[in-house]
Structure 1
Amino acid sequence: MRTVIFDLDGTLADTSADLIASANACFRGLGYGDVLDPVADASTAFHGGRAMLTLGFSKVQPGFSEADVMAQYPLLLAAYGEAIDIHTQLYPGAVAAIEVLKSKGYAVGICTNKPEDLADRLLTRLGVRDLFASMIGAKTVGVSKPDPKPYLAAVSEAGGVVAQSFLVGDTDTDRKTARAAGVPCALVTFGPDGEGVRDLSPEALLHHYDDLARVTQELIG
């Protein structure tokens, strides 16, 4: 079965504001207040909790250590889990485009570096979990992207064949994952890096989800 696998954060949904809020909850707890800006620091949010904490600490605590980051990471996840869908929205046209793919016989799945339980919870809250035949999150298979194993697992769980699949993502991590798995990659230009993803030389650019059917046809038929 031909299969399309999607990253989540910055690809299917703009989760940046809720992610930044979870990191700021940690810094408020440390007495620093809201260190990260939901607009200026949005791109860092899509690189994960540790990246947000690292950026925040670099602003307020010179000489911070990895231990400082790791001490706050569980607190960040807890804060995020409690307020996971306050500001998060699916990108325009995503649901309709995925429903079109499914109606044409494509399988669709998720491969994200968000912890699986949080990804599952978010998509359930957004009312779209049932659209996806697979859900592979951080460490579901022991490793995370850009290792190809999570992608391969997402395709397999969806009932697909790797040779007839591709990845829709938004960052260099997704580009590297697709390359490691030997499959094409389409990067969205409406994510945090905008048109800058052109520099990553993906096989396709996705400017709007209205273009998903055409891009899919071009990449895997």
Structure 2
Amino acid sequence: MPLASPPAPLTVVFDLDGTLVESAPDLVEALAAAMAAEGLPRLPADEVRGMMGAGARALVERGLRAEGVDLPEERMLELYRVFLDHYDAHIADRSHLFPGAEAALDRLAASGAKLAICTNKLERFAVKLLGELGAADRFGAIVGGDTFGVAKPDPKPLIGAIERVGGDPARAVMIGDSATDVETAKAAGIPSVVMSFGYTTTPPRELGGDVVIDHFDELDDALRRLGLAA
């Protein structure tokens, strides 16, 4: 009797902001710069954290909406550019990997897992941020909200990230922190792990993910519970 083929390598796809990287402090400052350009006050950091997850333009729009401001498209684009310029210059002033993330990535790589990023951040900023943090080379693919012309929760970026690392969707998992990530994973037909410390106003255990964990030290066990141990 022929021996059974070993399972395909596990593909682990991470969201970026609020999942792998604590980037809120620098995003808060970029939004404050855009708001100041319109003569508007700085929003509280905790409030801004709950606005994140849909990309930079959506963050600026949500910040303006919080102040009851509705601007013409041309002015909105000007403020969006203020945000991008400020963020580009200060992308990793205070951002850092979440506790335990580096060790978890080491364990996954040692097990043979394929690693990728799927974020709604613009691809060039995702690459730059991970490069500044010394983590870009860990990932076989870094997919941003503009990489495929559509953003999460459309499943195309997630499927594309899996394909770019040569992974199998049947042996893949999405690690995220928001409803957007959970919806993306469901649309792609793959399980999701929710990090409870991320950027969401909805309680993490109400997002509909398959597993919720509180620290990267729990990721290996979460993958075992999903039957996806690398």
Q: Same fold (TM over 0.5)?
A: yes
* Pair 1:195–1:38, CA change in 2 (3 A): closer
Contact kept in structure 2, 1:171 and 1:193, CA below 8 Å: yes
Q: 2:49, 2:202 → 1: CA distance?
A: 15
1:81 aligned residue (88, 91, 99): 88
Contact kept in structure 2, 1:167 and 1:185, CA below 8 Å: yes
TM-superposition CA deviations, 1:152-188 (whole Å, max 9, x none): 1111112211110010000111011000000001110
Q: Which residue in the other structure is 1:21 paired with?
A: 29
Q: Which residue in the other structure is 1:213 paired with?
A: 220
| Residue 106 in structure 1 maps to residue 113 in structure 2 | yes
Q: 2:148, 2:156 → 1: CA distance?
A: 7
Contact kept in structure 2, 1:58 and 1:64, CA below 8 Å: no
State the one-letter code of the partner of 1:21: E
| Residue 55 in structure 1 maps to residue 62 in structure 2 | yes
TM-superposition CA deviations, 1:37-96 (whole Å, max 9, x none): 223322213333233322332354544345443331122111101100111111100010
Aligned length: 220
Q: 1:108, 1:163 → 2: CA distance?
A: 15
Contact kept in structure 1, 2:26 and 2:94, CA below 8 Å: yes
TM-superposition CA deviations, 1:123-156 (whole Å, max 9, x none): 0000111111111111211211111111011111
Q: 1:157, 1:57 → 2: CA distance?
A: 36
Q: Which residue in the other structure is 1:7 paired with?
A: 15
Q: 1:124, 1:199 → 2: CA distance?
A: 33
Q: 2:69, 2:154 → 1: CA distance?
A: 32
Q: Which residue in the other structure is 1:120 paired with?
A: 127
Q: TM-score w.r.t. structure 2 length? A: 0.89
Q: 1:194, 1:43 → 2: CA distance?
A: 5
Q: SS where residue 72 of structure 1 aligns?
A: helix
Q: 2:73, 2:203 → 1: CA distance?
A: 29
Q: Which residue in the other structure is 2:147 paired with?
A: 140
Q: SS where residue 85 of structure 1 aligns?
A: coil
Contact kept in structure 1, 2:52 and 2:200, CA below 8 Å: no
CA RMSD between the two structures: 1.8
Specify every segment of 5 or more residues in structure 2 that has no aligned partner in the other structure, as ranges.
1-8
Q: Which residue in the other structure is 2:5 paired with?
A: none
Q: Which residue in the other structure is 2:46 paired with?
A: 39
TM-superposition CA deviations, 1:174-218 (whole Å, max 9, x none): 011000000001110011338812112211112110011111222
| Residue 152 in structure 1 maps to residue 159 in structure 2 | yes
Q: TM-score w.r.t. structure 1 length? A: 0.92
Q: 2:149, 2:59 → 1: CA distance?
A: 23
Q: Which residue in the other structure is 2:6 paired with?
A: none
Q: Which residue in the other structure is 2:38 paired with?
A: 30
State the one-letter code of the partner of 2:11: T
Q: SS where residue 144 of structure 1 aligns?
A: coil
1:93 aligned residue (92, 97, 100): 100
